[in-house]
Each structure stands twice: as C-alpha cells, then as structure tokens.
C-alpha cells in the first residue's frame, strides 16, 4: 500500500465515522448555523495549522516567491496543474460532465508538447478548470457534513475530506510513489503544492487575517460559501439559484424594521 495512503487510513476511518454521525447538514445560508459541532476540536487544529504555517510553510513560500524567477514559477505551477489532470479527468467523468471532460483531455494533449511546463492550451482558448471528488459527491447529492479543519490541509468538511482521500487514490502519483525508493515523488508533490499555493496567497491571506475579528470563523464562512458557489456553478439544475440578499438576511431583521433607513422595503 502506498505510504501516503497507509498514513491516511486512520484519517479515513475517523472521517467515515463522522459522516455516519453527521445526519443533519444545512446550507450555509442560515443565520448562525455554521454546521460546526466539532468547533472546539477544529479550533485546536486551526491553531496547529497556523503554527505549521508560521514555522514551515510560510517561510518556504516566502523564499520561493522571492528567490525563484517568475519564468520558473510559471513552469512549476503549470506542471503541478498538468500532473493533476488524471484527478480532474476522473471527476469530470464521474460527474458526467462531458463538456469539461473533453476540454481537460484536449488541454492535457496540447500541454504534453511542453512536457506540462507550458500552457499552450490556455493561450489557445481552452480554459483550465478544477474538479475534485468532493464536488463529485455533491453532484451526486451528498451534503457537506460537519465542518472540519484537517491537519496541514486546512478548511474542509466531511464530504470534502472523503473527497480528498478518494482523489489521493485516483492520483497516479500516489501509486507511482508507493515503493520506498520512489516515496520522494509523493512527498515532493505534496510539499510543492502546499508551498506554491501558499506563495500565491501570501499577501491576500495576510490581509484577510489582519482585518479579521475572528479568523477561524471568517475562514469557515469563506470556505463554505466558496464550495457552495462551486457546487451551484457545476450543477445549475441541482444547486438552484444562489440565495438572494433577502434570503441571506437574518429573519430577526426582516421581521423587525425595514433594512435601510432610506429604502422602503416591505417585509
């Protein structure tokens, strides 16, 4: 069994247990229902992740941003996207999304010419898109389940946590690197992704944290809304329309006074 997978088994078991426990999952639109029964545990993991970030990932990301030439950075990002293709392809297929399946396949073939280091496909008008098994589960009607902060990975939920594990199984790199002599490939892939994504979000994430009154709660809300939006975009029929401003508004407000001093909203 691949090393990464062997390591993930306890995580998988606990996620599964959580999934079974998680009967009720709500849309992240109701006031105050953050669907976070594990908040005390999650907050601890959040602090742990923050430390890992402060002492390991962030310094690596800063070094990467400052020392690596932009040309190389673009190549690295292209290559990481390129070797993720099997996961995207598999999930496009599992979602029955043949339009994106076709684009993903064409992109892969065109970018192979550059060994995945360039991205002629995007220049030719084939936009990249991402797919993962969490979204696939959602397209099959799975609810998000309780919010989870996964060590190292960050914000997630039971559905997306299971999705991450399945994506790891779908990833050829997991299987290629399953012998000890090639384990470095798996680790390199994992660490590069963390560092590159972190490098891309250095300023933004710092700003978000600086302006935040409760960074944990802010990230939780951000994650849930973002995933909800992705799911709606993927399945316009199933997802339904995005909630409107008035649907998002606390019932305590709509039943109370008009929303603005200046408008004449009747509720």
Contact residues: another protein, CB under 8 A = 29, 31-32, 34, 70, 122, 127-128, 130, 132, 154, 193, 196-197, 200-201, 203-205, 207-208, 210-214, 216-218, 220-223, 225-230, 232-233, 242, 244-246, 248-253, 256, 259-265
Return the number of the residue (179 or 247) whose C-beta is nearest another protein: 247
- Tokens coding 261: 């001093």
Q: How far is the CB of 112 from another protein (least distance, A)?
A: 20
Return the number of the residue (181 or 213) whose C-beta is nearest another protein: 213
Burial class, 107, CB count within 10 angstroms (exposed 0-12 / middle 13-18 / buried 19+): buried
Return the number of the residue (93 or 208) whose C-beta is nearest another protein: 208
Q: How far is the CB of 244 from another protein (least distance, A)?
A: 5
The CA-atom distances, in angstroms, between 246 and each of 191, 199, 258 are: 43, 37, 11
Q: How far is the CB of 117 from another protein (least distance, A)?
A: 16
Q: How far is the CB of 230 from another protein (least distance, A)?
A: 7
- Tokens coding 266: 């009747």
Q: How far is the CB of 181 from another protein (least distance, A)?
A: 27
Q: What is the DSSP string of the chain?
A: --HHHHHHHHHHHHHHHHHHH------TTSTT----TTHHHHHHHHHHHHHHIIIIIHHHHHHHHHHS-HHHHHHHHHHHHHTTHHHHHHHHHHTT-HHHHHHHHHHHHHHHTTTTSS-HHHHTT-------HHHHHHHTT----SEEEETTTEEEEHHHHHHHHHHHHH-HHHHHTTSGGGHHHHHHHHHHHHHHHHHHTHHHHHHHHHH-SSHHHHHHHHHHHHHHHHHHHH-HHHH-SPPPHHHHS-HHHHTSS-S-SS-----
Q: How far is the CB of 207 from another protein (least distance, A)?
A: 5
Return the number of the residue (102 or 130) whose C-beta is nearest another protein: 130
Return the number of the residue (143 or 220) whose C-beta is nearest another protein: 220
Return the number of the residue (20 or 130) whose C-beta is nearest another protein: 130
Return the number of the residue (31 or 102) whose C-beta is nearest another protein: 31
């Amino acid at each position: 069994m691949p090393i990464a997978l062997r390591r993930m088994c306890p995580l998988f078991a606990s996620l599964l247990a959580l999934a079974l426990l998680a009967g009720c999952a709500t849309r992240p639109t109701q006031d105050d229902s953050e669907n976070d029964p594990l908040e005390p545990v999650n907050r601890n993991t959040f602090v742990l992740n923050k430390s890992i970030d402060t002492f390991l990932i962030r310094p690596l990301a800063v070094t990467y941003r400052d020392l690596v030439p932009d040309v190389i950075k673009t190549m690295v990002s292209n290559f990481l996207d390129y070797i993720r293709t099997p996961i995207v392809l598999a999930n496009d297929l599992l979602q029955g999304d043949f339009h994106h399946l076709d684009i993903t396949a064409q992109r892969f073939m065109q970018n192979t010419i550059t060994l995945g280091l360039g991205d002629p496909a995007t220049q030719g008008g084939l936009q990249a898109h991402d797919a993962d098994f969490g979204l696939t589960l959602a397209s099959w009607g799975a609810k998000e389940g309780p919010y989870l902060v996964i060590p190292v990975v960050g914000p997630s939920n039971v559905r997306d946590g299971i999705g991450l594990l399945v994506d790891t199984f779908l990833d050829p790199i997991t299987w290629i690197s399953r012998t000890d002599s090639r384990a470095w490939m798996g680790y390199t892939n994992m660490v590069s992704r963390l560092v590159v994504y972190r490098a891309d979000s250095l300023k933004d994430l710092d700003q978000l944290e600086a302006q935040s009154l409760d960074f944990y709660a802010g990230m939780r809300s951000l994650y849930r809304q973002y995933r909800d939006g992705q799911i709606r975009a993927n399945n316009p029929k199933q997802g339904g329309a995005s909630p409107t401003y008035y649907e998002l508004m606390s019932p305590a407000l709509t039943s109370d006074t008009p929303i603005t001093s200046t408008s004449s909203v009747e509720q």
